[in-house]
Structure 1
């Protein structure tokens, strides 16, 4: 039991250490996790949450039917993978920026790079701008979007659609 408690503490500390998950204050915010089931593997450095998973920290929210958290050899959070019919990730990159919201059957959040991959029925919204397609990749800090109609794990061809609002 002590080892599981230590792993949970290490996992929570790794979420708040290193690169922030969102705004600078997000890294200092408490982490709230809700799920129906949790499977921890200390040796592999993973935690798998199953069943109506909802993870929140500051402006960041990640939901899915299943969310796997991976940490690197230094014990820092390296990647979060959410899957489900409509996995969801939201984050406010900066207080002056609009909220970024993304959906997909699979969402991979690369913490160090502050990069999100939205896979299969992917959708990304920031302010009034929207992007839809089979695969979307978004770099939070650089505000760069890469989109494809096809990709690994994508069912069929899903054409790219986007709506950009005019500058005010």
Structure 2
């Protein structure tokens, strides 16, 4: 059985190792986690943090009232789920690009697909461009946004709003 610290590193390190998600220095940056409580289940492959959770590594930050990290049978991170009144994720993909910031009542980061779902009161900002709605999906590699006014986990109908800044 892995000691809890080693398992914790196995669960979190891949958050910053995906090339489209992080600057090169992010993977070697220390992982900092703050929470009021941690429930670690090695057999289930989960780590659940509760109470004003703040996870940081390099330019990546994930916050929420509750953050659950899941790994697959091979021990690789498969999903990170942050929930709260305003769960938050941010990442600077490249030093020359603006920081990408996202909010929602639920944020799901699918590691293998390099995809982020922002659910209910969803908001995504990149530079001066903004997207708001009930459900936003952001594909990190392709920098593609898909938005819907309604969806699973979305309260009511939340129309899509978008502001795009003109090219300089």
Long gaps (5+) in structure 2: none
CA RMSD of aligned residues (A): 1.4
Superposed CA deviations along residues 126-163 of structure 1, whole A, max 9, x for unmatched, are: 00000000000001221100000000000000000000
User: Scaled by the length of structure 1, what TM-score is found?
Assistant: 0.93
Counterpart residue number, 1:19: 18
Contact 1:11 1:77 in 2 (8 A): no
Question: 1:10 — aligned with what?
Answer: 7
Report the more deviating stretch, 21-30 or 96-105.
Answer: 21-30
Shift of 1:59: 0.5
Which stretch of structure 1 is more off in the superposition, 122-131 or 17-26?
Answer: 17-26
For residues 87-122 of structure 1, what are the alpha-carbon distances to aligned partners after superposition, in whole Å with 9 as ceiling and x for unaligned? 000001122211000000000011222211000000
Aligned to 2:31: 31
Structure 1 residue 14 displacement after superposition? 4.2
Counterpart for residue 49 of structure 1: 49
Task: Name the CA distance, whole Å, in 2 between partners of 1:14 and 1:48.
Answer: 11
Cα distance in 2 between the residues matched to 1:38 and 1:166? 45
Between the aligned partners of 2:122 and 2:113, the Cα distance in structure 1 is 20
Unaligned 5+ segments in structure 1 are none
Distance (whole Å) between structure 1 residues aligned to residue 11 and residue 35 of structure 2: 19
Indicate the SS of the match to 1:13. helix
Alpha-carbon separation, structure 1, partners of 2:13 and 2:36: 23
Counterpart Cα distance in 1 of 2:58 and 2:84:
23
